[in-house]
Amino acid sequence: MFRTLLTILFATLSLSALAQNGDFPTRPVRIIVGFPAGGGSDVVARAVADKFKDFLGQPGVVENRAGASGNIAADYVVHSPADGYTLYLATASNSINTAAAATGVTGAVTLNYDLQKDLQPIVMLVRNQNVLVANPKLPVSNLRELIQLARKEPGKLNFGVMTPASQLAGELFRQMAKVDIVDIPYRGAAPVVSDLLGGQVELAILDMAVALPQLRAETLKPLAVTSRGRFEGLPDVPTFAEAGVPGYEASGWLGLMAPAGTPPAVLSRLREAAARAIADPNVVARLSPLGVTPATGSSEEFAEFLRADVDKWTKVLRVGNIKLGG
């Protein structure tokens, strides 16, 4: 009798777990994006969401909740049910904002959540490619010559910066190359490119999607890409590490996260579907103009990357003692 009751109990628990997780999802899954529609992060989210019907069995829906460098959206997801139906599209801005809040630098946004405790990594989707570009009249042809010029004339050259990510990418270069280059803050990439072309600023680290049209027209000069490996769209442009700054990397990234406490079976289902979506040839072709590359990997690898990314920017901010935003 005891064994019979035990068998019934285990069966009941198994059926209950299956009802909660095994049938997931039974309705559309939302991806909350912290930036306006039409931007790079939004395009990636929609490309993945459009494939959820194929790989998850339910539609994906993108919802934009812009503001505070993505933190309005993150806070919304943190306080959503941990059932897998509301996901957050995390970006490199989240690592930087977490680091800035920890160091208390001027310009840091106020966080009402803990990125690494209140959200669970599902999968990294893409890595953003960025490139250091220069006005063609700047008398350098490569990164080593730029470093020599900057050391010869400290404080004379300047960076056009439009986001905390671009600012910290430049700050990392300054610290590692031991150069003095001044930040000039802008509201968006378009005015930075305009002043680069006009010679009002000499340098900028731009998203590949922004830089490529100018590089193809040869109106700007590429010096190095910020990623660990070369970008296939610019095979002749070296990485910072290859060009004279060993160990430098400042790539952007996008990944999916869920509220803490989301069942492991649900997270596994979401990771599998998202990984298949981002590797789909049609999605790869759709995202190619953005200059991003599929990343994927395990949830554990994403979590480890996130910890390292926060640590890296925390150290950069502490050493630099800079004000975010210029």
**Rounded to an integer, what distance in angstroms lies between the CA atom of residue 131 and that of residue 198?**
19
Specify whether the CB–CB gap between 156 and 243 falls below 8 A.
no
Give residue 7's pLDDT: 46
Query: What burial class does residue 41 get, using C-beta atoms within 10 Å of its C-beta: 0-12 exposed, 13-18 middle, 19+ buried?
Result: buried
What is the pLDDT, as a whole number, of residue 74? 96
Which domains does the chain show, CATH number per domain? 2-128+252-320 (3.40.190.150), 130-243 (3.40.190.10)
SS3 of 116, please? Answer: helix
Torsion on CA atoms 308, 309, 311, 316, rounded to nearest 10: 140
Query: What is the pLDDT, as a whole number, of residue 265?
Result: 97
Spatial CA neighbour of 208 closest among 189, 195, 191, 194: 189
0.85 surpassed by pTM? yes
Query: Using CA atoms, how far apart are residues 207 and 132, in angstroms rounded to an integer?
Result: 9
Q: Report the pLDDT value the prediction gives residue 13, as an integer from 0 to 100.
A: 42
Tokens 């599209």, located at residue: 89
Residue of 45, 21, 223 lying closest to 139 (CA atoms): 223
| Chain center to CA of 87 | 15
Q: Any idea of the CA torsion for 257, 260, 263, 268, to the nearest 10 degrees?
A: 20
* Spatial CA neighbour of 317 closest among 96, 152, 166, 85: 96
Q: Give the per-residue pLDDT at 116.
A: 93
DSSP string, 250-302: --EEEEEEEETT--HHHHHHHHHHHHHHHHSHHHHHHHGGGTEEE----HHHH
Contact (Cβ atoms closer than 8 angstroms) between residue 291 and residue 207: yes
Q: Which of 169, 291, 295, 285 is nearest to 232 (CA)?
A: 291
pLDDT tens per residue across all 326 residues of the chain: 545 444 444 444 444 444 455 689 999 999 999 999 988 899 999 999 999 999 999 999 999 999 888 899 999 999 999 999 999 999 999 999 999 999 888 777 889 999 999 999 999 999 988 999 999 999 999 999 999 999 999 999 999 999 889 999 999 999 999 999 999 999 888 999 999 999 999 999 999 989 999 999 999 999 999 998 999 889 999 999 999 999 999 989 999 999 999 999 999 999 999 999 999 999 999 998 888 889 988 999 999 999 999 999 999 999 988 888 76
Q: What is the pLDDT of residue 10?
A: 40
pLDDT of residue 12: 45
